[in-house]
Structure 1
Amino acid sequence: MSATIELADRVEIAELFARLARLLDDGRIYDINTVYADDVVVRSPRAELHGIEEVLAFLRTSKVEGEHTQHVNSDVLVTVDGDQVRASASQLVHYFRAGEAPHRSSGLRLAYRVVKTPAGWRFREGQLTLAWSKTSP
């Protein structure tokens, strides 16, 4: 891969963060393959997951009845590192029940290695790092 990528590719890669947030907030976990590669590896404080099926299983068992989320991304950065493309973002996640203020919020740092697949750019390997978490009384 060259040291640069096209602007359209950068936009598509940056949009992966928004698409991931939206599908999680909407509960569309079965669309996870629209942002993750089939052989994805995700490491977080809660789990290390290998492949789409493990990610789906984790998301299915993590759902708390009646709880909703709102993911907000910022500081998205797409970089080319030799033959690899990396993307990172800061993320706030608010957990709430319909019509109520959030009862928990977290700040995370997301860092992914990104690959171009026949279906478009996808996250292949990710590290989710918890920066802080706050539970409301």
Structure 2
Amino acid sequence: MDTLIADHIAITDLFTRLTRLLDEKRWEDAGTVYTDDVTVHSPRGGELHGIDKVVGFLRQAEAGGEHTQHTSTDLLVEVDGDRATASANSFVYHYRDGQAPHFTGGLRQYTTAVRTPAGWRFREMRIMPAWRREG
């Protein structure tokens, strides 16, 4: 397979692995999607530096009995050697077991990914809300 195509597929897969990790609350697997020195910019968490800070924020942000379903779409990937920029539109649905979502949001994610010995990982992520709906 052409290396560029394989890189595009791997980075697309990285977004999917991130959404599953978030929905399943598998914080111990954060190293499979983020570099140790990751920086995440988000309106809820501010600017977080390092995987431990990101995981700490995710754990602290958990709401009892609440689940999420993240989806990413419209991925655009630009690979330049061992570095890539990628963006996606994402939808996040917050719900409780057996109930319709009580909060839904649309986000835009802008990322930098790097090739590591373990595969592609996000080194930087900027999360920008586009819209939200409650109820």
Give the TM-score category using the shorter length: over 0.9
Q: What is the aligned length?
A: 133
In structure 2, C-alpha distance between the alignment counterparts of 1:50 and 1:84, rounded to whole Å: 19
Out of 37, 41, 44, the residue aligned to residue 42 of structure 2 is 44
Q: TM-score, normalised by structure 1?
A: 0.92
- 1:129 corresponds to: 128
Indicate if the aligned counterparts of 2:83 and 2:115 stay in contact, CA closer than 8 A.
no
Q: TM-score, normalised by structure 2?
A: 0.93
- Extract unaligned runs of 5+ from structure 2: none
* Counterpart AA for 1:27: K
Aligned 1:1-137 pairs, distance under 5 A: 6-46=4-44, 47-80=46-79, 84-136=83-135
Secondary structure of the corresponding residue to residue 122 of structure 1: strand
In structure 2, C-alpha distance between the alignment counterparts of 1:83 and 1:116, rounded to whole Å: 5
Q: Report deviation, 1:32.
A: 0.9
Aligned CA-pair RMSD:
1.6
